[in-house]
């Protein structure tokens, strides 16, 4: 599938992990002129930002992979753009009481567009990543021109298509996903077989630029605490919170309450109160409708609305049948069945089933949620 012609040049984003390492190996095995690049996006050393990630370790691991495979290796610095588009936005969104997805922002503004632009300038035909997703080329029935589709990876536990819905046709034209048709087990097995230095390295957890620091501790480096009451639905005070911006819908951990489990089900901003519910009150986390903004379409052309689609409103969440329509200036998603903890700031990604598999149609950022009892 990835057989190269005439020494096609490809720049691989080597993250220091096993997925991108195997991606580089597969491309070289199939005849590509492979160049390894480590993207220096975040060092955690800027003013007031705790939680320095182990970027030097990741860089060294990426370099070790390149050395093992005999690849030219470079480090490209995108930290300024990453700080502006990803990290600063992360704080702004939490300050507004929203829960952003920095991985999507990184792919949309840094990892793909800036990396691709520089790679093309340096003579690349393609760039490649270790994402678990699949690109396919088809003919548009209307225009009769070729276009690219984005499909879920074959491993349902590792599929990363959710993070890639902002990709354009130009970007997909120059993108390769060598491990998209493999499972994680197969990737690990191959890495061990060829003795890659990262074969046994565990997968990264959490948000990349925070490292091992908890999200709430990282947020405190910029957002001030503003304590208030934690209450149940009847208004009974159960404890104290440290600031509404530090909590997200459906959250269970970090509440410090006895006789649980308790779940965050709502907020009262004016009264600075956090509302929690018991396990029996999960219905207050359910919603059938939300509005979305900043819509992106993989084909470059929006479908005629209203349209029935499959929607995933959180990473690793199953897709559910829904209807996307327009209401005035708003775009509204109506799910056939109530969904748990639909959260503003996260993305709703649209899919449809095709002959090729589960295809990404597009997506948007969740703006408002209409749920039973409480607004979020």
Which are the catalytic amino acids? 106, 208
Q: Name the residue among 33, 81, 39, 31 with its Cα closest to residue 62.
A: 39
Do the Cβ atoms of 18 and 198 come closer than 8 Å? Answer: yes
**How far is residue 233's CA from residue 263's CA, in Å, rounded to a whole number?**
12
Distance CA 176, CA 64 (A): 22
Output the CA–CA distances (angstroms, integers) from residue 303 to 173, 227, 300, 325, in the order listed: 21, 46, 10, 10
Distance CA 302, CA 364 (A): 12
Which 3 state secondary structure label does DSSP give 184?
Answer: helix
Distance (Å, whole) CA 263 – CA 340 = 12
Distance of CA 309 to the CA centre of its chain: 20
Contact partners, residue 344, CB within 8 Å, separation at least 6: 97, 98, 99, 290, 366, 367, 368, 369, 376
Q: What is the 3-state secondary structure (H, E, C) of 50-80?
A: CCCCCHHHHHHHHHHHHHHHCCCEEEEECHH
- 341 burial (CB, 10 Å; 0-12 / 13-18 / 19+) is buried
User: For residues 15 and 111, what is the distance between their CA atoms, to the nearest angstrom?
Assistant: 11
Cα–Cα distance between 137 and 150 in angstroms, integer?
9
What residues form DSSP beta bridges with 327?
Answer: 330
* Strand, coil or helix: 331: strand
* CA pair distance 53, 61, nearest whole angstrom: 14
Judged by DSSP in three states, 145 sits in coil
């Amino acid at each position: 599938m990835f057989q190269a012609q005439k020494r096609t040049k490809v720049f691989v984003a080597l993250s220091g992990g096993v997925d991108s390492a195997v991606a580089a190996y597969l491309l070289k095995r199939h005849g590509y002129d492979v160049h390894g690049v480590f993207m220096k996006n975040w060092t955690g050393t800027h003013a007031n930002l705790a939680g320095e990630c182990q970027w030097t370790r990741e860089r060294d691991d990426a370099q070790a992979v390149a050395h093992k495979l005999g690849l030219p290796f470079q480090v490209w610095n995108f930290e300024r753009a990453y700080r502006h588009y990803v990290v600063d936005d992360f704080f702004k969104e939490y300050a507004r009481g929203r829960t952003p997805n920095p991985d999507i922002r990184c792919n949309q503004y840094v990892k793909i567009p800036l990396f691709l632009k520089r790679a093309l300038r340096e003579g690349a035909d393609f760039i490649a990543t270790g994402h678990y997703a699949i690109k396919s080329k088809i003919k548009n029935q209307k225009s009769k021109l070729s276009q690219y589709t984005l499909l879920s990876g074959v491993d349902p536990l590792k599929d990363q298509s959710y993070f890639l819905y902002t990709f354009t046709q130009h970007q997909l034209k120059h993108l390769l996903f060598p491990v998209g048709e493999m499972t994680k087990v197969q990737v690990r097995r191959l890495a061990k077989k060829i003795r890659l230095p990262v074969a046994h390295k565990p997968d990264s957890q959490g948000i990349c630029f925070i490292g091992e620091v908890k999200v709430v501790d990282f947020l405190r480096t910029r957002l001030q605490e503003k304590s208030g009451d934690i209450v149940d639905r009847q208004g009974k005070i159960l404890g104290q919170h440290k600031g509404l911006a530090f909590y997200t819908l459906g959250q269970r951990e970090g509440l410090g309450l006895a006789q649980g489990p308790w779940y965050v089900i709502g907020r009262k901003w004016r009264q600075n109160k956090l509302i929690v519910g018991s396990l029996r009150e999960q219905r207050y986390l359910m919603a059938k409708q939300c509005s979305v903004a900043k819509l992106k379409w993989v084909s470059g052309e929006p479908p005629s609305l209203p349209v029935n689609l499959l929607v995933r409103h959180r990473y690793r969440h199953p897709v559910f049948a829904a209807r996307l329509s327009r209401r005035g200036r708003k775009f509204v998603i109506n799910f056939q069945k109530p969904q748990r903890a639909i959260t503003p700031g996260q993305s709703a990604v649209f899919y449809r089933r095709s002959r090729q598999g589960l295809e990404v149609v597009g997506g948007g950022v969740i703006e408002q949620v209409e749920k039973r009892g409480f607004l979020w």
